[in-house]
Structure 1
């Protein structure tokens, strides 16, 4: 397992305090383990979604949203509609330049996709990463600290299933490898 310089948590307990894991994962996880080891152990035991959740919560916001973008881009097909392409582009734009304008554009594009696709959730993750989630003109309401990670994890799961609805495991493994490359300071290329 690669070094995970981008994951600041020293032990898994620091991450699972912010996300729920399944019963099988609970039996496997040792809270004192470094997160990278836990992610590898969960993957080895086919607890892919739990590994994704821990990785999404461990990565910094921009890297996590970029991870969602990478998975979404791979899930797109020639039949992907314009709304989903635009939602993904908005999320990628926010990662490259995380301005308030780009964050709000990502949310507008997510709304157009009705929150049903990987692109929807990549764009939502960008929106939930900063700023206020209150309607414009209302007092500011900061998103909960790890709300973006929930959107990222959902995006990764939807992307894996979009690639192979019957057996998404190979795509989960591929996406986890990309996320671990980002955690190691890479660009998510594998």
Structure 2
């Protein structure tokens, strides 16, 4: 399987991306010196390492695209039975995607806290909060920037949780579908 060209991934090597999270041993065995992101993702796909592909894509995609992808997967995977707090968290994500202001970023944090970090929607909303700005209160004189990898880690968590949220026996199929949606996002040129 060839994942094809991935214009949205601008990292030169897969190792640059892998330093932002902890790939498992099986994924690391595909990480040859100097391998690019596309051949690395090809290797993960060929071996059916979909959860590893998700973790990689959540770090490799631009944050806005990764958030769009994760939010869509969580909504699509929920079968419309999301609790109100999760719906509110995803609505806050949508508001930030439409208008990426600090107020919307902080509203996503508040919605994430209400939904909870143990929910897919809460994790996506935390991903928005971690996407930039400051982790400290607005009143703090000096910004406390989030670590660059936090958004990707929150989004990967969201997708792992979404894969097992209902009918966990179907998680492998969901993980593959989520990874394929992420690859589609990485292929897009817009």
Shared fold per TM-score greater than 0.5: yes
Give the structure 1 partner of residue 179 of structure 2.
176
SS at match of 1:107: helix
1:81-131 CA distance string (max 9 Å, x none): 111001011112212221111101110100101211110011010110011
Give the structure 2 partner of residue 154 of structure 1.
157
Give the structure 2 partner of residue 5 of structure 1.
7
Indicate if the aligned counterparts of 1:15 and 1:54 stay in contact, CA closer than 8 A: yes
The 3 A distance-change label for structure 1 pair 165 and 39 is same
Matches within 5 A, 1:22-37: 22-37=24-39
Q: TM-score, normalised by structure 1?
A: 0.91
Matched, 1:124 2:126: yes
Give the structure 2 partner of residue 135 of structure 1.
137
Matched, 1:59 2:61: yes
The 3 A distance-change label for structure 1 pair 186 and 75 is farther
**Structure 2: runs of 5+ lacking an equivalent:** none
Greater shift in the superposed pair: 134-143 or 170-179: 134-143
Q: TM-score, normalised by structure 2?
A: 0.91
Structure 2 distance, partners of 1:149, 1:182, is: 15
Structure 2 distance, partners of 1:81, 1:66, is: 20
Query: What is the CA distance between 1:32 and its match in structure 2?
Result: 2.0
SS at match of 1:144: coil
Query: What is the CA distance between 1:43 and its match in structure 2?
Result: 2.6
Match of 2:82 among 68, 80, 83: 80
**Structure 1: runs of 5+ lacking an equivalent:** none
Query: What is the CA distance between 1:57 and its match in structure 2?
Result: 0.8
The 3 A distance-change label for structure 1 pair 5 and 78 is closer
1:117-173 CA distance string (max 9 Å, x none): 110011010110011011343342000112101011111111111253123111111
The 3 A distance-change label for structure 1 pair 91 and 43 is same
Indicate if the aligned counterparts of 2:96 and 2:108 stay in contact, CA closer than 8 A: yes
Query: What is the CA distance between 1:179 and its match in structure 2?
Result: 0.7
Indicate if the aligned counterparts of 1:56 and 1:149 stay in contact, CA closer than 8 A: yes
Structure 1 distance, partners of 2:182, 2:189, is: 9
Give the structure 2 partner of residue 145 of structure 1.
148
Match of 1:165 among 164, 168, 182: 168
Query: What is the CA distance between 1:50 and its match in structure 2?
Result: 1.5
